[in-house]
Amino acid sequence: MGFHCKDFKEGKCQGQKVVDGETMPLVLQPPEPDKGDIDSLMSALKRNKDWFEQMIIKNSAVLLRGFDVKKAEDFNDIVEAVGWDDIRYVGPAPRTHIYKRVWTANEGPLSQFIYYHHEMVLINEYPKKVVLFCEIPPPEGGQTPFVPSFKVTERMLEEFPEAVEEIDRKGLKYRFTALSKNDKSSMRGRGWEDAFGTSDKAEAERRAKALGMDVEWLPNGGATTIIGPRWLTKVFDGRKGRRMWFNTLVGMHGKEQSSALMADGTEIPENFVKRCEEIIEEESIQFEWEKGDVLFLDNLALLHGRRPSLPPRKVLVATCK
């Protein structure tokens, strides 16, 4: 299935890679200079819904560039035009609701690197699409790099075949500790009350259970959530049987607030985690944000992160089923 759509023309961006025959990200631009207004974009998306979704699954990332997308309301219209249901964000990142389906991306300090992850990978119901809009591009840094997840599995299987299969068989168990209230000085500073939408511990436990988590209460009012067993790799329909590195092992292993072990309590070798971190970085795709960019990520196929940035930087997000 090649590129056939009269409502868009294919563009290029710096940092693009061809991975296994697919261009990541696929850049879609207005077909004519005068077709970049928001109304033309809206009708193009509505006319080509199925095709557009196929492009996201085929290329894993699609970047709309050169359209006149100015503000959260425009972005919300785009998200609603493609017609996928909303899914509420659950996780450690501090975020603020902006408008309808639109939230700020992680509000943790811009100086910190947000490690590569599949969005809400530990929750029973995770989004299939993550959509990002660049309202204010950073003067330096602040990229949202992403990684084709199946490449990580391929390379880890080449180097650690037995360990990969053992962890996949046993599953992973994660622990994560949160304070009671939000702490915006940390990129993982969301308090459990905000995360679970309640300050009632019994209700928080019920909500945690529904998401597939257990909770232990700490003397300081904080909480530790225990999640697992969870998968190391996962295969999703329509993605060439690729085995995705669908976990947050590197991001949570041996950190101050979190840990990751095999589900039976076996430690994961340090060199396995270290090498995985190097491979993820080597396979990453970096592109520079431009004002008005809208990036669609297939959350089942890509890990994504955030590079440290000079201010100001304003990237908004919507998560979809």
What pLDDT, on a 0 to 100 scale, did the predictor assign at position 119? Answer: 97
Q: H or E segment at 177?
A: strand 172-178
Predicted local distance difference test score (pLDDT) of residue 60 = 98
Choose the weakest-confidence range: 3-7, 139-143, 167-171.
Answer: 3-7
Q: What is the pLDDT at residue 2? A: 53
Q: Is domain 9-145+285-320 given the CATH code 3.60.130.10 in the classification?
A: yes
Mean pLDDT of the chain: 95
Q: For position 1, what pLDDT does the model report?
A: 45
How would residue 108 be classed by pLDDT, with cut points 50, 70 and 90?
Answer: confident
* Average pLDDT, integer, range 109-136: 95
Per-residue pLDDT of 51-74, as tens digits, reads: 999 999 999 999 999 999 999 999
Domain boundaries, the chain: 9-145+285-320, 148-281
Residues 6+ apart with CB under 8 A from 165: none
Which CATH number is associated with domain 148-281? 3.60.130.10
280-301 pLDDT, tens digit each: 999 999 999 999 999 999 999 9
Give percent above pLDDT 70 in the chain: 99
Phi, psi torsion values for 115, nearest 5 degrees: -70, 150
Q: What is the pLDDT of residue 124?
A: 84
Predicted local confidence at residue 3, as pLDDT: 65
Count other C-beta atoms under 10 Å from residue 186's C-beta: 18
One fold for 9-145+285-320 and 148-281 = yes
